[in-house]
Chains A and B, each alone.
Chain A
Amino acid sequence: MSDSIAITKISELANPTRFLALAGRVLPWLAGVTAALFMIGLYLSFTTEGDYQQGATVRIMYIHVPAAWLSMMCYTVMALSAIGTLVWRHPLADVSHKAAAPLGAAFTFVALATGSLWGKPMWGTWWVWDARLTSVFVLFLMYLGLIALNRAMDDPSKAARVSAVLILVGFVNIPIIKFSVDWWNTLHQPASVIRMGGPTLDKEFLWPLLIMALAFTLLFFTLHIIAIRNEIWRRRVAAQRRLAARLASREA
């Protein structure tokens, strides 16, 4: 009994109109908290001391690490939405994973770009085929592929279902890719790879990092809700246009 009540609650919340109303109420607060956290986080990032080995470049980490975490969390959100699409056939789940894909690609790109900036002074090169870099790069490719797939199809609900299948297959595959890339790397490269993180983090670095991570997470959810809202509006406009076209042909 309580089960079914919980399910009705969720599906009531997931009704697009209700979602829009809720999003309208939550968004200002969410955006405000995100901005505040970013201010604190950035202030801390720039005022804490630099690492004695890495100097000021260590500050890149405060952007880089949260972005990398987010790139993975975003895929998890997409996989959950994909299950919603395939199992419950809920339109909001369709919209959710479609809206998340560009965000995931953006965060992954930020992670790769900042990593590259950090790598130049530290490793002396913009890019190494390090296991971690490589698997993040593959993740980036998967995001781009999913965006391309969504754009290639005309029927949005069919596009959602098909890309949901692909998201799930990819999700199952990510651990295998990660594992195989680790294996590949240990086999091909000497063990001289400089590990990220270097010395164990002490409190000096930990606090700004955690606050920035929280700020990034909230930023993701803010952007995600906005993107979902835009997509719903876009579909409503499309439905109205379609209706106008059909009515015109009926009158003629």
Chain B
Amino acid sequence: MIALLLRDLKLSVRAGGGALIGVLFFMTVVAVIPFGVGPDLNLLSRIGPAIVWIGALLSALLGLDRLFQTDRDDGSLDLLLMQEHPLVLTVFVKCVAHWLGNGLPLVIASPLLGLFMNMSEVAIGATMLTLLVGTPALTFIGAVGAAVAVALPRGGLLVSILVLPLAIPVLIFGVSVSYAAVEDPAPFMPPFLILLAITMFFAVLGPLGAALALRSASD
């Protein structure tokens, strides 16, 4: 299992890995927003956490279809399916590796984008923290979509359409926790704990669903 984690990490860093593309896409999306809504710094700082979160959501989806597709293309997926390690665990490890390669860079890049959006230090910190807690949930829920995409002759876009509605709770709580840290009356801990709970819930449900879909889709 550790071997699998290391292999997937190496692959995401080496040439052709999606890690860098994801971060670049994230920065581009967020950088485009001010051109759309205008350079009003007050407005930007108000919508900042939401924009950063939406950018992170979109770029997390961007690399997802590769989660199982590359393994299927070269035949590795067959061998992964054959082994006695529970498939759920294999999928879980692949998700963790994918998050370390693609999700964590987004979290690390988010403070810089927070500066662009004229967010306060507290807001930047809160957004980074919620991204750290919330983006794994996006990967886990996306794993189901990625597993479904394996069966599709042309997956890509359909995965995003299927996964986005399911990711709404993560977005809602991610953003509201970020705002709760800045706005005074709103409590911080309850939504934060709910976000944590959602992530843990999807850490179970996502690999289960993905494993089921992979088994069904193999031919």
CB <8 Å contact, B161 and A176: no
Partner of B216, one of A165, A176, A179: A165
Residues of B within 8 A of A163 (CB): 148
> Within 8 Å of chain A (Cβ to Cβ): is B219?
yes
Is A206 interfacial (CB 8 A cutoff)?
no
A86: Cβ under 8 A from any B Cβ: yes
Knowing A141-B165, A145-B165, A180-B173, say if A166 contacts B216 (CB, 8 Å). no
Contact of A166 among B173, B191, B198, B213 (CB under 8 A): B213
Question: What's the A-B contact tally at a CB cutoff of 8 Å?
Answer: 92
From B20-28, B74-82, B83-91, B152-160, the one touching the partner chain is: B152-160
Q: Do the beta carbons of B144 and A165 come within 8 Å of each other?
A: yes
Name the CB-closest residue of B to A172.
Answer: B205
Residue of B nearest to A146 (CB): B162
Q: How far is B172's CA from A64's CA once the two chains are assembled, in angstroms?
A: 27
Contact status A152-B154, CB under 8 Å? yes
How many Å lie between the Cα of A154 and that of B154 in the bound state? 11
**Is A86 within 8 A of B216, CB to CB?**
yes
Give the complex CA separation of A86 and B211 in angstroms: 13
Per a CB cutoff under 8 Å, which of B166, B173, B213, B216 touches A173?
A: B166
| Distance, CA A155 to CA B218, complexed state (A) | 12
List residues of A (58-99) whose CB comes within 8 Å of B's CBs.
86
Q: Say whether B168 faces chain A, with CB atoms less than 8 Å apart.
A: yes
B69 within 8 Å of A (CB atoms): no
* Residue A169, interface by CB 8 Å: yes
Say yes or no: is A162 at the interface (Cβ < 8 Å to chain B).
yes
B130 at the binding interface (Cβ < 8 Å): no
- Taking a contact as CB atoms under 8 Å apart, the answer to whether A152 and B153 are in contact is yes
**Docked complex Cα distance between A168 and B169 (Å):** 17
Partner of B168, one of A149, A168, A180: A180
Interface residues of B in 204-219 (CB under 8 A from A): 205, 209, 212-213, 216-217, 219
A162 touches B165 (CB 8 A): no
Residues of A within 8 A of B191 (CB): 183
With an 8 A cutoff between CB atoms, is B193 at the interface? no
Give me the interface of B with A, judged by CB distance under 8 Å: 144, 147-148, 151-154, 158, 161-162, 164-166, 168-169, 172-173, 176, 186, 191, 194, 198, 201, 205, 209, 212-213, 216-217, 219
Known: A162-B213, A173-B205. 19 other contacts (CB 8 A): A138-B165, A138-B168, A141-B161, A142-B166, A144-B161, A145-B158, A152-B153, A153-B151, A163-B148, A165-B148, A166-B162, A168-B209, A173-B166, A177-B169, A180-B168, A183-B172, A183-B173, A183-B176, A184-B172
> Which A positions have Cβ atoms within 8 angstroms of B?
86, 138, 141-142, 144-146, 148-149, 152-155, 158-159, 161-166, 168-170, 172-173, 176-177, 179-181, 183-184, 187
Q: List 9 A-B contacts (CB under 8 A).
A: A86-B212, A158-B217, A158-B219, A162-B216, A166-B148, A166-B213, A181-B172, A183-B194, A184-B172
